[in-house]
Structure 1
């Protein structure tokens, strides 16, 4: 299922993952344009390039968004069709090559593109990284860290930007994000909606059973919502990398504050409409009864880069200030 999109999600959450708080950094001094570049990735490994990478293959959608936002068109991306469905904020040109699934890309397809660099998210098959490194330099991003996702995002953006020779563009991308979040918070506070409790979720169905995945504190969506003045109401267990939990409709009955708003993501099957609409437990939930359910726009990627963060935040702000 495409909504199981991050590199990994824990078994308790749904199906696997863990992370650390180590952040990648750049260790070499700024090089002249076109000169050698060295970055240190999330493994703590120094990756040296003879020049900023111009031909880049990216194997995760958030990182694909970042590279494209920096003004570099990837020569190859894993699951191009999926990216176009789930991330509409930063479109891909039609000629970007598909190199297979994100969890099982084709090494042959990647190598055939003769890239200068491959960008891989932490948590993917480590054997894949080793195989790719026989042919091409690889940098591994942190991709998510519920202990500090904004700090992690900044590190990933700056590392990628340096690797592709776009450090100034990376700084501007982050600055634009910070400005948008600050303006959003001002709008929410001006409306008197600061501190509004929320729960964010996505979900899927298996037969007649609807599973719900809440985005707890530490998830990127939660960080974005809290940055514009909301308060995450989900207090259940979440995994340490993505900040994601697991529940069902009955589990949502713990959310009793009538001010709570539910936001949800469904770029494909909308189980909140098709699977829950007639469910009596769902109908009695305060945010349902009070008409405070907000579906994020299709193509809103909840594990993306700075532009996705802004897109998420803008929708929270719009809902709070309507």
Structure 2
């Protein structure tokens, strides 16, 4: 009876020793005021996501997101492991021998990726016994996006955008398709898609400079980061691209993480709007 009571109390209050193995899981937990005892790639999270990083001050790094250290996780004696189904379904059984595992559906291979943001937040809230807090978080997120739409309606309505992420070492860009979370969020604010593209697996595709020639003349190309990578600037075709020749290339600055949950997406949307108004 004592053991059953202890488990019931844990279920009601949420885990006290949480380990997160994916940055989306880490972001959601931190956004809910929960500090993991361990998470994967802490330095990378601080660099790229940078959401509530003070909550990681006492966290132990448990290795790479794709290949976390089971030994490091076991040493932390977690009572819950929160991570991505896409990334860690293949090792869920091994993780489950350490602690209960909850896999969130944060990276659908097709469909509306913005819907996945809401779904993964609610799944995490249920696993962490924070469902009410998640609903408040999502309501705040929706309210902020609506405020951006209302505040800047005259400046952004119908303006065409293409959001792209540079790839290191090559003159190519990861261009976000209409089904990407950031694309859906920008349409909510009032922007329009600036390139004709079908829905893509995981919300993006990689294109070269010739592909950028298809960006519509009245579109703005937003590159995630700062400055424009040398691989693009030094390419002979770069200055001849219509979007470049017309001065319609802007930089979001850093960090700019388009694959996260509500906080990182809200931050990115604010960055984009701020550079246009």
Give the drift of 1:204.
1.9
Q: Comparing both structures, which one devotes a greater share of its residues to helix?
A: 2
Task: Show the 5 A alignment for 1:49-88.
Answer: 49=11, 52-88=14-50
Q: Deviations over 1:184-228 (max 9, x none)?
A: 11133132x31111111112244xx42211010111111121111
Q: Could you tell me which runs of 5 or more consecutive residues in structure 2 were left unpaired when the two chains were aligned.
A: 1-6
Match of residue 152 from structure 1: 116
Give 1:136 shift: 0.7
Contact 2:12 2:129 in 1 (8 A): no
1:185 to 132, 146, 149: 149
Q: CA deviation at 1:94?
A: 2.1
Say yes or no: does 1:116 pair with 2:75: no
Name which of 55, 59, 67 aligns with 1:104.
67
The alpha carbon displacement at 1:51 in A equals 5.3
**2:165 touches 2:225 (CA, 8 Å); kept in 1?**
yes
User: Shift in Å at residue 261 of structure 1?
Assistant: 0.8
SS of the residue corresponding to residue 170 of structure 1 reads: helix
Would you say the 8 A contact 1:89–1:300 is kept in 2?
no
Contact 2:220 2:248 (C-alpha < 8 Å) held by counterparts: yes
Aligned partners of 2:106 and 2:119 also within 8 Å: no
**Greater relative contact order (CA < 8 Å, ≥ 6 in sequence):** 1
Relative to structure 1, the CA distance from residue 187 to residue 83 in structure 2 (aligned partners, 3 Å threshold; closer, same or farther) is: same
Give 1:62 shift: 1.5
- The farther-off stretch of 195-204 and 102-111 is 195-204
User: Which residue in the other structure is 1:221 paired with?
Assistant: 182
Q: What is the CA distance between 1:125 and its match in structure 2?
A: 4.3
Aligned: 1:255 with 2:215: yes
Which deviates more from structure 2 when the two are superposed, residues 193-202 or residues 279-288? 279-288
Question: What is the alpha-carbon distance in structure 1 between the residues aligned to residue 51 and residue 249 of structure 2?
Answer: 22
Name the residue aligned to 2:3: none
Partner of 1:307, secondary structure, is: helix
**CA distance 1:243–1:83, shift in 2 (3 Å):** same
5+ long unaligned stretches in structure 1: 1-33, 38-48
Match of 1:230 in 2: 191
How many equivalent residue pairs?
Answer: 269
Question: What are the superposed Cα offsets for residues 154-194 of structure 1, whole Å, 9 maximum, x if unpaired?
Answer: 12112212222222221111111101110111133132x31
> Residues of 1 paired with 2:37 and 2:196: CA distance?
42
Counterpart in the other structure of 1:297: 253
2:51 is paired with a residue of what secondary structure? Answer: coil
- Give the superposed CA RMSD: 2.1
